[in-house]
């Protein structure tokens, strides 16, 4: 059985997950990366090979109970234990509340929230038995601040933030730490996949346009996912752990700006009469230029 720390990274086939799997392996961890299809992991394998490391691939869909159970049985059977779990797998979701179906809310919740809890439940019994372990939950700055026209994503990430706070208290007596990673805009395939918008009524065209404006600007400054991977490694290995780590472009500015403003000031940003006014109000509030 491996003597190095055993770390599992979900959603390892792209973006933050892929960078984290490779980075932890480069730091000496024995890494298991979960992917929905091993056959589609060519780039992960190529990048790991170029880095001179191995990422052990396990097919696993975090949105499915049986798949999670089977995948972690394979990992635990092979490695004997899991020291660190990085819950990274997730999906986006664009919609204003009025145009977001209950089914859409639940689909995103099933992956972003329930996926993380399924995986945690799979590893916690053996962590409790050993009296050690780390659960790292990758949320988003959208878990700390409303993100216009992204209601299902915001709902899932706020929920994961709350569950993470609860887990941190629940698990502390067993020697298990919880860390929350809150990325801003990071280079990831999720943006190319996350372009659908319901726009059923036509009443919210400005909301969707302003959401896309924010991400168009963000992608010009998007942070390399390996920067987030290093933050995750720090959260796992540090001797001075924190509950929250905010990283990437826009992350500290959005979280800090929202904390400084009143609720009334937050609501007032939505009253901007046109896109130019919105861009100015956003910049004044957060110190971020989202013009393109």
Q: Is the pLDDT of residue 2 over 70?
A: no
pLDDT at site 219: 84
Q: What is the pLDDT of residues 210-223, one digit of tens each?
A: 999 988 888 888 99
- Average pLDDT, stretch 48-73? 98
Burial of 33 (0-12, 13-18, 19+ CB in 10 A): buried
Angle made by CA atoms 156, 162, 163, in degrees to the nearest 5:
85
Determine the Cα–Cα distance for residues 292 and 52; give it in Å rounded to an integer: 39
User: For the chain, what percent of residues have pLDDT higher than 90?
Assistant: 89
Q: Which of 153, 208, 245, 278 is catalytic?
A: 153
When pLDDT is averaged across residues 129-152 and rounded to a whole number, the result is 97
How far is 44 from 21, CA to CA, in rounded Å? 9
Length of the chain, please? 292
Q: Choose among 251, 259, 274: nearest CA to 185.
A: 251
Residue 202, token pair as written in the block: 């036509």
The least confident of 53-57, 197-201, 204-208 is 197-201
User: Beta-strand (E) ranges in the chain?
Assistant: 6-9, 30-35, 55-59, 84-87, 133-138, 176-183, 244-247
pLDDT band at 130, cuts 50/70/90?
very high
Tokens encoding 83:
């020291």
Strand partners, 35: 59
Instruction: Give the number of C-alpha atoms closer than 13 A to the C-alpha of residue 200, restricted to the C-beta side.
Output: 9
CB 71 within 8 A of CB 8: no
pLDDT at residue 226 above 90? yes
Residue 199 has pLDDT above 70, yes or no: no
Flag whether the pTM goes above 0.85: yes
Q: Tell me what pLDDT residue 218 has.
A: 85
C-beta separation of 270 from 210 below 8 A: no
Q: For the domain bounded by 6-200+222-257, which CATH number is listed?
A: 3.40.50.720
Tokens of 184: 């801003």
CB 214, CB 290: distance < 8 Å: yes
CA atoms within 13 A of residue 13's CA, in its CB half-sphere: 18
Residue 102: is its pLDDT beyond 70? yes
Strand order in the sheet with 6-9: 55-59, 30-35, 6-9, 84-87, 133-138, 176-183, 244-247
Considering the chain, what is the average pLDDT of its residues?
Answer: 95
**pLDDT > 70? residue 115:** yes
Residue 193, pLDDT > 80, answer no
153 is catalytic: yes
Judged by DSSP in three states, 71 sits in helix
Place of tokens 């992917």: 35
For residue 170 the two structure tokens come to: 């629940």
Residues 210 and 276: their CA atoms lie apart, in Å, by 10
The most distant pair of C-alpha atoms in the chain lies apart, rounded to whole Å, by: 62
The per-residue pLDDT for range 250-275, each reduced to its tens digit, is 999 999 999 999 999 999 999 999 99
């Amino acid at each position: 059985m491996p003597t190095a720390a055993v770390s599992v990274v979900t959603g390892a086939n792209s973006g933050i997950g892929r960078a984290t799997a490779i980075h932890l392996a480069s730091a000496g961890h024995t890494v298991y990366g979960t992917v929905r299809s091993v056959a589609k992991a060519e780039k992960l394998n190529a990048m790991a090979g170029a880095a001179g490391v191995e990422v052990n691939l396990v097919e696993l869909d975090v949105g499915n109970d049986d798949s999670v159970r089977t995948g972690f049985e394979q990992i635990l059977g092979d490695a004997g234990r899991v020291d660190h779990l990085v819950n990274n797998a997730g999906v986006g979701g664009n919609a204003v509340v009025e145009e977001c179906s209950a089914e859409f809310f639940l689909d995103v919740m099933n992956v972003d929230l329930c996926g993380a809890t399924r995986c945690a439940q799979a590893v916690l019994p053996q962590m409790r038995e050993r009296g050690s372990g780390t659960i790292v939950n990758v949320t988003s700055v959208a878990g700390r601040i409303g993100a216009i026209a992204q209601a299902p994503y915001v709902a899932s990430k706020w929920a994961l933030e709350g569950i993470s706070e609860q887990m941190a208290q629940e698990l502390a007596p067993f020697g298990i730490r919880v860390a929350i990673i809150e990325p801003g805009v990071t280079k990831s395939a999720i943006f190319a996949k996350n372009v659908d918008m319901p726009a059923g009524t036509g009443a919210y065209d400005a909301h969707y346009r302003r959401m896309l404006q924010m991400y168009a600007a963000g992608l010009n400054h998007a942070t390399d996912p390996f920067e987030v991977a290093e933050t995750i490694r720090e959260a796992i290995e540090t001797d001075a752990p924190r509950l929250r780590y905010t990283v990437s472009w826009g992350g500290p500015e959005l979280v800090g700006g929202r904390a400084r403003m009143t609720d009334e000031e937050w609501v007032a940003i939505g009253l901007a009469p046109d896109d130019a006014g919105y861009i100015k109000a956003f910049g004044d509030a957060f110190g971020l230029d989202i013009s393109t």
